[in-house]
Chain A
Amino acid sequence: EDKVVQSPLSLVVHEGDTVTLNCSYEVTNFRSLLWYKQEKKAPTFLFMLTSSGIEKKSGRLSSILDKKELFSILNITATQTGDSAVYLCAVESGNQFYFGTGTSLTVIP
């Protein structure tokens, strides 16, 4: 059974802190791993990591993929209140995407 597990389930930090979000997976036909940010409505795309791109960075956010150990991390440095959201990890396996339950991040001013 394909599955994606995220940890922690929730996190509360102060502005300026650095956070690390975890995603581990077991799927039969790995194609890619994706990170999304979800505020009130639709998930918005952050990163995609594949065999040919195992590290991505955009501003204060960065992500790595370890295909051997089957996990990914999402790092956010110098957190801001606008980073408060649910962060979703998804794995593309065959024609389907499997999502974790998400990590709820709250950044306190």
Chain B
Amino acid sequence: NAGVTQTPKFQVLKTGQSMTLQCAQDMNHNSMYWYRQDPGMGLRLIYYSASEGTTDKGEVPNGYNVSRLNKREFSLRLESAAPSQTSVYFCASKERTLGKPQHFGDGTRLSIL
């Protein structure tokens, strides 16, 4: 039971480099989410996709783009990384049915120098 798989687990980038974080789920969930987690800030929503073919901005979308490639995969792209984007990034997925929780991947720890 893989659940939600994120790659890579760790990455170090230089300011200005680009990077795509990958997320895949095998639970046939419709909705997928990208969060960042910073010390003292909790989890903040970057983008979400309520269903295949749709994406919407969350609380902190600036500096990021997303692609819902198919029902399984939802990627997050940093076009020009900045030190302020140093964070732990979590992907999550959820059934469309009401009353179901999100399931999270193990996270990607990203450092930008």
**Residue from B4, B40, B58 in contact with A96 in the complex, judged by beta carbons closer than 8 Å:** B58
User: In the complex, are the beta carbons of A97 and B33 less than 8 A apart?
Assistant: yes
The interface residues of chain A lying within 8 Å CB-to-CB of B50 are 95
Per-residue CB proximity of B54-82 to A under 8 Å, as 1/0?
A: 00101000000000000000000000000
Does B56 lie within 8 Å of A102, measured CB to CB?
no
Of B44, B98, B103, the residue contacting A99 (CB under 8 A) is B44
* A32 adjacent to chain B (CB < 8 Å): yes
Binary interface encoding of chain A residues 85-109 relative to chain B, with 1 for a CB under 8 A from any of its CBs, else 0? 0001010000111111110000000
- Considering only residues 23-68 of chain B, those with a C-beta below 8 Å from chain A are 31, 33, 35, 40-45, 48, 50, 56, 58
Interface centre among A48, A99, A102 (most CB of B within 10 A): A99
Q: How many residues of A contact B (CB 8 A)?
A: 21
Q: Is the C-beta of A43 less than 8 angstroms from some C-beta in chain B? A: yes
Alpha-carbon distance A102/B58, docked complex (angstroms) = 19
> What string of 1s and 0s marks CB contacts (under 8 Å) between B100-113 and chain A?
11111111000000
Measured CB to CB, the residues of B under 8 A from A are 4, 31, 33, 35, 40-45, 48, 50, 56, 58, 90, 98-107
**Known A42-B104, A97-B102; 15 more pairs at CB < 8 Å:** A31-B98, A42-B105, A42-B106, A45-B102, A48-B99, A95-B48, A95-B50, A95-B56, A96-B48, A98-B45, A99-B42, A99-B43, A100-B42, A101-B42, A102-B42
